[in-house]
Amino acid sequence: MFANLTVAISRRLRAIADLVPRHSKLVDVGTDHALLPVYLSQQHTLSYAVATDISEGPYTAALQNVRAFNLERQVSVRLGPGLSTVAPGEVDTVVIAGMGGSTAVEILTESPKVMEQVELVVIQPMNASQRVRSYWRENGYVLSVEAVILEDDRYYEIMAARRLSGSEVEGRDPAYSSFLGSEDELSVALELGPTLLVKPTDTFIEFARAKLARWKSIAGELEHSRQPASTVHRNRLIRQTHWLEKWMNHHQPEDK
Ligand SMILES: C[S@@+](CC[C@H](N)C(=O)[O-])C[C@H]1O[C@@H](n2cnc3c(N)ncnc32)[C@H](O)[C@@H]1O
């Protein structure tokens, strides 16, 4: 039906698409309308794609889109949770976008046989990006790209990591080497992204400013709590706030 038209995708999805290497064997987990695999297939950049979703509605929408754009031979649409629909060795690149960070980590951990043969993972978490970074750091991945983009007044974190193989697996990600001075420093790097703290973009600096305001507001809310756990959490937020304030003093957006 739309075979001659190019699918339109958002700035966020475009930024994710740009991280998928040419000739990838891609799986897009939580594909919804399969916009990402359809877009990349139309650009002729993939070997093939699996578009998979846990829910019937998005699965049906994905099937309809793939048929409408006449891409049935390039994009296989599947129904099921996480990577359970994919055979080991079938894909080398995984995209998980538009889900919480904890769900993304669960998806990676629940299919170890598939993940053994994956080279690159691209995640755009809607929250808890520190869960993804911690998991990667502790499980033999190295960050290859981090970005923050602003779309419709919302910041989106996008990150990609390469899986290390063989003897490399025991190594720590060098991206964190400047942040090992204290636990607080490391937790700021896990929350915000070590590569962006070292080489910030203007959008990242604005994102960090918003994060700082949020930490201060949460610390304020916890001030009167008598729960010991809240006090520990508040004290950590205050220490992280101090670290980030110092960082902000040295980093201003270029047009400010
Ligand atoms: C907000 S949409 C994101 C769609 C698309 N990835 C994007 O970024 O625009 C989230 C999709 O993930 C699917 N989903 C949620 N949990 C999932 C899981 N464990 N496995 C596969 N799909 C899942 C939902 O059904 C939904 O279609």
Cβ 58 under 6 angstroms from ligand 1:
yes
**Nearest C-alpha neighbor of 39 from the set 58, 62, 57:** 62
Q: By percentage, how much of the chain surpasses pLDDT 70?
A: 96
* Strand (E) or helix (H) holding 49: strand 46-53
Model confidence at 246: pLDDT above 80: yes
Model confidence band, residue 252 (pLDDT cutoffs 50, 70, 90): confident
**Nearest C-alpha neighbor of 79 from the set 110, 111, 53, 114:** 53
Model confidence at 208: pLDDT above 60: yes
Per-residue pLDDT tens digits for 42-92:
999 999 999 999 999 999 999 999 999 999 999 999 999 999 999 999 999
- Structure pTM? 0.95
CATH number of 11-172: 3.40.50.150
DSSP 69-85: TT-TTTEEEEESSTTTT
For residue 126, the ligand 1 atom closest to its alpha carbon is 1
Instruction: Please give the distance, rounded to the nearest whole angstrom, from the Cα atom of residue 82 to the centre of ligand 1.
Output: 9
Scored b (16 or more CB within 10 A) or e, 209-227 reads eebbeebeeebeebeeeee
How many whole angstroms separate alpha carbon 17 and alpha carbon 225?
44
DSSP label at 23? T
Model confidence band, residue 95 (pLDDT cutoffs 50, 70, 90): very high
Residue nearest to atom 11 of ligand 1 (CA): 30
Spell out the residues 6+ positions from residue 204 whose beta carbon is closer than 8 angstroms to its own.
148, 192, 193, 196
Model confidence at 221: pLDDT above 60: yes
- The shares of helix, strand and coil residues in the chain, as percent rounded to the nearest 5, are 50, 20, 30
Cβ 53 under 6 angstroms from ligand 1:
yes
Mutating to test ligand 1, I would choose from 16, 35, 55 the residue with most ligand atoms within 8 A of its C-beta, which is: 55
Per-residue pLDDT tens digits for 134-180:
999 999 999 999 999 999 999 999 999 998 876 565 557 999 999 99
Model confidence at 255: pLDDT above 70: no
Model confidence at 3: pLDDT above 80: no
Cβ 99 under 6 angstroms from ligand 1:
yes
Model confidence at 108: pLDDT above 60: yes
* Strand (E) or helix (H) holding 154: strand 154-163
Which bin fits 148, alpha (ψ -120 to 50), beta or left (φ > 0)?
Answer: beta
Query: Residue range 193-199: average pLDDT?
Result: 98
What residues does each domain of the chain span?
11-172, 200-250
